[in-house]
Structure 1
Amino acid sequence: MRTDWATLPEAVTKEVADRVGGFHISPAATGDHAEIAATVTGPTGKVFLKAAHSDFGVRSLRFELRVSEAVSGSHSPAVRWHFKAAGWLVVGFEHCDGPHADLSPGSPDLDLLGEALVALGKTQAPDVGLFSPKGRLGFEHPAMDGDNLVHTDLGPANLIVTPDGLRIVDWAMATKAAPWVELAILAQWLIGSGHTPEQAEQWLARFPAWGEVGPDVLDDFAFKNAAKWATKAQPNSPAWMHNLADWTGQWSTYRRTPENT
């Protein structure tokens, strides 16, 4: 749950002001991993700030900080600074200006995402204690194990098209896994952006990792992922859970059709 900026202790806001030279705050419109998430604008420019106070929030943000510092490459925003004050962990990230990526069929942003996926597919997981596939997704299969860095949440909200190319933000759920796991999770976001399951798989098939995993493994992944979201999508669940239940369910149903596998 997000916390209002006005509730931050003076020790925190003063430290932020000292670092950016006074500031204007624009709260983030999407995402819910951090208690505070906002664009902070000052004379020295913009930073994207995340802050946390609760035990869970601090653990999550500290994890994201460690991963972000370890990830090197042009597709992830840099950590500008971080500090602790009055029980809060505060992190200033490179600000990424631009719209969220459009992943609909035929969008030019898909080419940018493809370039990023090629780079990620070659990125070994840093030695920072990442999630395991089961720890991140709630289910497992031996083929999911691997040594690659996998973001696991490449939805449009975490993809920003900047003048310098695509930036992938929010590494809070980064996982150490086989590279095909990133592609399998991406299927739900492609379907949610207007692709049919067949179109989503055709797009994913351009990456070598997709062809290196057996159809039975993809069947198992699709079924377990759909079952997980179907369980989460209760009447009082937020709309995004129902969306994911729909999109993962579409893919699982497609893969259960014999002529499609």
Structure 2
Amino acid sequence: MLVHTAWNDLPGSVRRAVVARTGPVRSVTPAGAGATCRLAATLQTGSGVVFVKGILVGDRLAWTLRNEIRVNPHLPGIAPRLLWHVEQDGWLVAGFEHVAGRHADLRPGSADLSAVAAVLAGLAAAPRPGLPVRPFAARWSGLIDSWHVAGSTLAHTDMSRRNWLIGDGGARLVDWATPAVGPAWLDTAFTVVRLVRYGHSPADAEGWAGQIPAFSAASGESLTRFAGALADMWQRQQDRAPAAHRGLLVDAARAWCRYRSGRSAVLMSG
């Protein structure tokens, strides 16, 4: 995680560049640093409330905020709208529409699951954005045969519950740091693993995912290969993340992989 930078610790020139777009900043509510940004805060300003994210342009992960800035205009209704961005004296800062909400509850029986499914179905059916985005098959080169994860649908690829905001207007999917183009079922498949991690059985998680047409139409073999590749990749990455968090995801991916492999074996024997 990057070191947090408070609003008042930003260079004055950077704060002035932001204020030129927002009007006077009347109060600041820090959100704390995330995995990819140094600054994350809600600003009460002369023109309203805005959520800001910032990073040093020389940071190793500065490309993630550039991804968000580039992709956001192609996400109407799915993500909080990008209002502006500034690059000043070594800082990149982006201002987003402020959306009041809480992180999604992905546990069995949660009322949030229907809102999450609605967004995933809409995203899966959306036309390919008119900008270059790295293919998911290239990201997973060497992990899986490319044809299993080829496609032209824009995917988020990080279905953490913290990336879902649930509010009065439904669900919004935030933090588009690692988008890719791939099969229309990709984000739903990533969500299946998250559901298993939060207590769903693999069968129930897939049953929930079946309401999303792109997932129900997916190749069973491709889903099985995806589940295995995801479990293998997360296992290798375990040392790079808090053990409790990553271990639960590895266990969930392994459970889904075993379920998928068992289904495949039954189909082949039949």
| Both structures adopt the same fold (TM-score exceeding 0.5) | yes
Q: Which residue of 1 aligns with 2:211?
A: 206
Q: Which aligned pairs between 1:50-69 and structure 2 lie closer than 5 A?
A: 50-53=53-56, 54-69=58-73
Counterpart selection for 1:154 from 143, 150, 159: 159
CA 1:57–1:11: 2 relative to 1, 3 Å: farther
CA 1:246–1:7: 2 relative to 1, 3 Å: farther
Residue pair 1:120, 1:149 contacting (<8 A) in 2 also: yes
Q: Which residue of 2 aligns with 1:4?
A: 5
CA offset at residue 119 of structure 1? 1.0
Residue pair 1:77, 1:169 contacting (<8 A) in 2 also: yes
1:106 paired with 2:77, answer no
Report the Cα distance in structure 1 between the residues aligned to 2:266 and 2:98, rounded to whole angstroms. Answer: 42
Q: Which residue of 1 aligns with 2:51?
A: 48
Instruction: Tell me the SS of whatever aligns to 1:256.
Output: helix
Residue pair 2:3, 2:33 contacting (<8 A) in 1 also: no
Q: Which residue of 2 aligns with 1:194?
A: 199
Gaps of 5+ in 2: none
Residue pair 1:123, 1:148 contacting (<8 A) in 2 also: yes
Report the Cα distance in structure 2 between the residues aligned to 1:112 and 1:34, rounded to whole angstroms. Answer: 27
The RMSD of aligned alpha carbons is 2.1
Counterpart selection for 1:87 from 85, 90, 93: 90
CA offset at residue 253 of structure 1? 2.1
Report the Cα distance in structure 2 between the residues aligned to 1:195 and 1:187, rounded to whole angstroms. Answer: 9
Q: Which residue of 2 aligns with 1:165?
A: 170
Residue pair 2:121, 2:214 contacting (<8 A) in 1 also: no
Gaps of 5+ in 1: none
1:16 paired with 2:18, answer yes
Q: Which residue of 1 aligns with 2:249?
A: 244
Q: TM-score, normalised by structure 2?
A: 0.87
Report the residue type matching 2:205 in the other structure: A
Q: TM-score, normalised by structure 1?
A: 0.90
Report the residue type matching 1:204 in the other structure: A
Q: Which residue of 2 aligns with 1:226?
A: 231
CA 1:154–1:120: 2 relative to 1, 3 Å: same
Report the residue type matching 1:245 in the other structure: V
**Matched positions, count:** 259
Instruction: Tell me the SS of whatever aligns to 1:201.
Output: helix
Instruction: Tell me the SS of whatever aligns to 1:56.
Output: coil
Q: Which residue of 1 aligns with 2:99?
A: 96
CA offset at residue 42 of structure 1? 2.6
CA offset at residue 169 of structure 1? 0.7
Residue pair 1:30, 1:157 contacting (<8 A) in 2 also: no
Report the Cα distance in structure 2 between the residues aligned to 1:155 and 1:237, rounded to whole angstroms. Answer: 14
Further displaced range: 58-67 or 139-148: 139-148
CA offset at residue 38 of structure 1? 1.7
Residue pair 2:33, 2:39 contacting (<8 A) in 1 also: no
Instruction: Tell me the SS of whatever aligns to 1:74.
Output: coil
Residue pair 1:159, 1:167 contacting (<8 A) in 2 also: yes
